Structure 1
């Protein structure tokens, strides 16, 4: 059994490193990532892509989400519906946003709930083979598990800054590895490098 204390320590270290990035630099890095991700993430028009609105010092994926929308993606964002569950609600221009938990906003309860085919996944840390540490609440782990139970295999693309990488994440049996990671250094599909 992997120590929760070890994961908590790794999470705190990487979040502190992320918090130390000056806000102007975070904006610049996020724009670089939007350019790289917009070029590298392939899909057919109409594909359901979940993004997220940034909280605290997270990567701002809104410019990337706009690029993916311009390529034909249908966008959604996570919404906390109870202490255990997030769902992904369709994000449509002009629809009012409401408080959706964790200090972020999203579409209200009348919005269409979707099952993402590509998920942009936030995190506190990642390693070079695709394991990640989230924020400790397990929302994404449960959402991914629920999609798998439905027979769906969403493409999981982690989004983080380079400073959030660590040598090895202590993975557990229930942890699902990412398919790719996007940082300011570029887009990496696990098992092969892309520019």
Structure 2
């Protein structure tokens, strides 16, 4: 099922980090407050542009791209037996990786979804696989109904945009950066998005954490620079 078929109540992005002071969000502040404001303004505009562009792509094309992305992610992960892979519930034109989670489970891996506990706090990860019950979490995004916290070995992070250094432009909530910064053992982090979302740079700030790789329908991007 394409994410556009999900009821609108499931399709609300996280709050925008650019609207609050980084210190309030529990993240390191910028060296220059004016620079931070300029970058935040630019990111907001790019975020809106990229989301609008991917939503304008026909659903059939996005589905084909999603399958290519899923195949690339599966190959990049390698042997999944005994490993926990966290993905996400798709919305606003994101690649739908739910079939990939089924494939991972079929090959002996465990799967999970991220859960927003509270604004300003790191994400939690809870085990979930196809067929398990869901409930509505923050912003009405589906999350596992049963709380089974876990520490994933691999985190698949959706990107609105990305740059050659594998920095991720997200929705502005800061959840992934905050979570990765506080995890005692960092998982392997694979950004997932479309080739058309590439930017020359996202102007990374002190709190931004680069992905290990980014997978698009056109190939694998590994950090440069």
Tell whether the structures are fold-level matches, with TM greater than 0.5.
Answer: yes
Native 8 Å contact 2:102 2:129 kept in 1: no
Larger Rg: 1 or 2?
2
Q: Paired residue for 1:96?
A: 133
* 1:95 shift after superposition: 2.5
How far 1:143 moved relative to its partner?
Answer: 1.1
Residue 56 of structure 1: aligned partner: 92
Q: 1:54 to 1:126 in 2, by over 3 A?
A: same
Please state which structure has a larger fraction of its residues in helix.
Answer: 2
Give the number of the structure whose residues are more often strand, by fraction. Answer: 1
1:84 corresponds to: 120
Name structure 1 gaps, 5 residues minimum.
none
Q: Distance in 2 between matches of 1:71 and 1:188?
A: 25
CA distance in structure 1 between the aligned counterparts of 2:104 and 2:132, rounded to whole angstroms = 19
Counterpart in 2 of 1:123?
159
Indicate conservation of the 8 Å contact 1:58/1:160, yes or no.
yes
Deviations 1:63-89 (A, max 9, x none): 222222233221110111112232111
For the 8 Å contact 1:160–1:183, the answer to whether it is kept is: yes
Q: Is 1:188 equivalent to 2:221 in the alignment?
A: yes
Corresponding residue number in structure 2 for 1:176: 209
Q: How does 1:129-144 map to 2 (within 5 A)?
A: 129-144=165-180
Corresponding residue of 1:167: 200
Q: In angstroms, what is the RMSD of aligned CA positions?
A: 1.6
Distance 1:22 1:173 in 2: 37
In the alignment, structure 2 segments of 5+ residues that lack a partner are 1-31
TM-score, normalised relative to structure 1 = 0.88
1:23 to 59, 65, 71: 59
